[in-house]
Amino acid sequence: MDSPFKYYDYVTGPHFIGREKQVNEFCELILQKKNILIYGQARTGKKSIVYNSFKELEKRKYRYIPIKMNLFNIRCIEAFMMRYTNNIVGKFATSGMEWSDFLFRYMPLAPYNVKEEPGKEPRFVYNSKELLTDAQIREFLNLPERIAEDEGCHIVLYFEQFQDITLFDDSDRIFSLFEKEWKCHSHVSYVITGERKNAMDEIFEVNKYFYNLVEKIEIVPIERKVFIDYIIKGFLKGGKVIRPNQAGYIYDTVEGDPWYAQHLASICYEMTVGYLEDKTIEVALRNLINLHDFSFHTVAFGLSKHQLRFIKAILDGVKRFSSADILDRFKLNSSANVNRLKEALQKKEIITFNSKKEIVIMDPLLKHWFIKYFFCK
């Protein structure tokens, strides 16, 4: 039997557990035509929440048009708007004539032509090398609202990797343009997601873009008991047995991270015949770490000696880094240097601050690797 644990993609059906509250919150906000913000570190369930919410809206017979926009390989506003307009118009137009009509009606300022090729869908291409003006950007941003109003529909525009806009030249100008136009939209809901937590914090918490324009859905850890029950049931499906304390150990080892927990449980399952043995969990954990060993080495290789010392201090439980004793023991030089180290490690998305304003390492398996392998004597 194939593994009953799913870690290689977003999860639905019986694999989607412990996030029903977030799905209900998402659906209610969409029904109210509100905008939604969901972000956190990678592989914590953002996409699963979004797709299960879409499924729930379909169950409720709610009519809407979802449009997905992934920004992972976009580095300028021109490339963004090309994908943005193609994705939106592609939902409504099929023939080249229809594409041309949309261009004429909704984007008269666009430096676009419609390109048609045999066996391929029509698409927009640039007919100019000039950078986009603010007027052109505003026209593009208003495209989904104008179409939704004319078509009498509700568009849900779903952004992935939204933090990558910070890599654009003059990103503050871009965010300001987005914010100004989106405030006027009533037929479009924007679902904004990102997986670089600190970068998203910078946009929404520090600079306060889109303030009062988006409703944030918090990604909280799946409850320990819920995950333990899920792991136990998964083993039982294949006629195998895992004890509650063993399932709890899997959960605790990866600090409840759903992706790592699913993967570790899957490796344990594959290695088990009948009853899971404790030593099998340790072997499975080493196998999981081996899969990520190269990427963890790459992270460590890119850190300075002071950054590594700062991480060691975090792992040793240090809470206050400004005392002379701590600065001397970990050779951190000065409080000013500590602040620089914090900022650098935040930009690398290695550390962040929890709800108690304590510094934590974001990736639980990387944390385990540092403790058990990198800093071991």
3-state SS, one letter per residue, for 113-144: EEECCCCCCCEEEECCCCCCCHHHHHHHHCHH
3-state SS class at 322? coil
Amino acid identity of residue 189, one-letter, is S
For the segment(s) 19-216, the CATH number from 3.40.50.300, 3.40.190.10, 3.60.9.10, 3.40.1160.10 is: 3.40.50.300
Q: Residue 221: its pLDDT value, please? A: 93
Domain 302-374 fold is Arc Repressor Mutant, subunit A (1.10.10)
**Domain edges within the chain:** 19-216, 224-298, 302-374
157 SS3 class? strand
Give the mean pLDDT per block of 10 residues along the chain (377 residues).
89 96 99 98 95 98 98 98 98 97 98 96 97 98 99 98 97 98 98 98 98 96 98 97 99 98 98 97 98 98 98 95 93 95 98 92 98 91
Cα–Cα distance between 290 and 283 in angstroms, integer? 10
- Give all strands (DSSP E) within the chain, no chain letters: 36-39, 65-70, 112-115, 123-126, 155-160, 188-194, 215-216, 351-353, 359-361
**Cα separation, 140 vs 66, whole angstroms:** 18
What is the model's pLDDT at position 1? 64
Q: pLDDT value at position 356?
A: 87
pTM of the model: 0.95
Spatial distance between the Cα atoms of 128 and 125, rounded to a whole number of angstroms: 9
